């Protein structure tokens, strides 16, 4: 999860097992980032894999605009999808591409939420039989059928965002500002193959890589130089001449049976001599 500003700060990172779809932890990462960093987004941008009904409805209910591409599961090529049908909320009917109406038949319990109702809409069999677009619509003898869940209104709201300047700009920014961070982590920080094993350790490694990317942007964002002495010391390279080390502080350890040890430290490395 990346902040939408120009600095492209990584707010959260999570590695999941292969059987967990990447769109499942989206809401957990979003709400955790809002609570952890005390921020509230204006909109959320993601590709079509994240545009599920659950994610879109939760984001829109929180008064945050879901500038995401809607998830398309199943379907057949060259066949009219649900997005090709217009919905009239006043009349509670769907309008097909040929202009015919799909009337509601009744409400049944949904598969995802047993307490909510799903309404079934169907066009007249006679109208579909004589329609010139039947080959691209349906092969059902009873006519084209659509189902509308309780959160379908939020999906219609996201469909209305399409073509608007903020929506299209958000999707373009995601391609330019988010995707390169994955390439940077893979090509420059060894994220193509994790060195550690087990899910917990792999998450630790991913968080370390993300933290390193954030530190780079913290120190160089906007061409400004750090103002604090600690940040300036972190940027300054250690100055060495041959085998000598300048600007070091000498620390004497406690005497032990092995003799006295001397420690020399620089802002980057710690050297130990017996």
Residues 191 and 170 in one domain: yes
Decide if 49 is inside a domain: yes
Write out pLDDT tens, residues 134-181: 999 988 888 899 999 899 999 999 999 999 999 999 989 888 888 889
272: pLDDT strictly greater than 60: no
φ/ψ of residue 121, rounded to 5 = -120, 140
Residues 183 and 47 in one domain: yes
Residue 105's pLDDT band, with cuts at 50, 70 and 90, is: confident
Residue that finishes a domain, picked among 91, 123, 152: 152
Decide if 195 is inside a domain: yes
Q: Helical H runs in 9-52?
A: 26-37
Nearest to 42 by CA among 25, 21, 64: 64
Residues 118 and 173 in one domain: no
Q: Which CB contacts under 8 angstroms, 24+ apart, belong to 220-223?
A: 221/6, 221/7, 222/6, 222/7
Residues 184 and 210 in one domain: yes
Which tops the pLDDT comparison, 250 or 8? 8
Q: Which residues of 14-28 are buried (b: 16+ CB within 10 A; e: fewer)?
A: eeeeeeeeebeebbe
Write out pLDDT tens, residues 6-50: 788 899 999 999 899 889 999 999 999 999 988 899 999 998 889
Exposed / middle / buried, residue 64 (Cβ in 10 Å: 0-12, 13-18, 19+): middle
Is the pTM higher than 0.75? no
Q: What is the Cβ-side half-sphere exposure of residue 133, based on CA atoms within 13 angstroms?
A: 12
User: For residue 233, what pLDDT is reported?
Assistant: 59
Which tops the pLDDT comparison, 190 or 272? 190
Write out pLDDT tens, residues 116-126: 688 999 999 99
Confirm if 68 and 46 have CB atoms less than 8 A apart.
yes
Residue that finishes a domain, picked among 96, 125, 152: 152
Exposed / middle / buried, residue 103 (Cβ in 10 Å: 0-12, 13-18, 19+): middle
Residues 123 and 249 in one domain: no
**Number of domains present in the structure of the chain:** 3
User: For residue 174, what pLDDT is reported?
Assistant: 87
Residues 86 and 124 in one domain: yes
Residues 135 and 264 in one domain: no
Residue 105, number of CB atoms within 10 A of its CB:
12
Indicate the DSSP class of residue 1: -
Residues 58 and 171 in one domain: yes
Element housing 152 (H / E) = helix 152-161
Decide if 97 is inside a domain: yes
Where in the sequence is the domain holding 60, given as residue range(s)?
26-72+158-222
Mean pLDDT of 233-247: 52
Residues 42 and 169 in one domain: yes
Mean pLDDT of 100-116: 69
Nearest to 105 by CA among 90, 117, 88: 117
Decide if 193 is inside a domain: yes
Write out pLDDT tens, residues 167-219: 999 989 888 888 889 889 999 998 889 999 999 999 999 999 999 999 888 87
Residues 175 and 51 in one domain: yes
Nearest to 34 by CA among 58, 68, 3: 3
> Can you tell me whether residue 70 is helix, strand or coil?
strand
């Amino acid at each position: 999860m990346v902040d939408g500003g120009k600095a492209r700060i990584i707010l959260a990172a999570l590695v999941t097992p292969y059987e967990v779809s990447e769109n499942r932890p989206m809401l957990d990462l979003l709400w955790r980032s809002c609570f952890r960093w005390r921020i509230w987004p204006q909109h959320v941008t993601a590709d079509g894999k994240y545009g599920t009904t659950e994610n879109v409805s939760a984001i829109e209910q929180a008064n945050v605009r879901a500038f995401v591409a809607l998830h398309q599961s199943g379907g057949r090529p060259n066949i009219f999808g649900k997005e090709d049908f217009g919905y009239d909320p006043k009349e509670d009917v769907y309008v097909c591409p040929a202009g015919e109406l799909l009337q509601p038949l009744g409400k049944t319990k949904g598969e995802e939420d047993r307490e909510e109702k799903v309404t079934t809409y169907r066009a007249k069999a006679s109208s579909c039989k004589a329609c010139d677009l039947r080959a691209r619509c349906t092969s059902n003898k009873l006519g084209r059928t659509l189902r509308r869940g309780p959160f379908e209104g939020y999906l219609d709201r996201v469909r209305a965002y399409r073509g608007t300047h903020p929506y299209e700009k958000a999707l373009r920014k995601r391609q330019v500002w988010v995707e390169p961070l994955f390439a940077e982590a893979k090509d420059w920080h060894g994220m193509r193959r994790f060195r550690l094993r087990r899910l917990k350790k792999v998450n630790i490694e991913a968080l370390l890589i993300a933290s390193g990317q954030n530190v780079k942007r913290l120190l160089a964002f906007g061409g400004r130089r750090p103002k604090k002495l600690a940040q300036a010391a972190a940027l300054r390279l250690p100055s060495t001449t041959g085998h000598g080390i300048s600007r070091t502080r000498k620390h004497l350890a406690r005497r032990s049976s092995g003799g006295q040890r001397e420690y020399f430290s620089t802002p980057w490395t710690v050297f130990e001599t017996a």
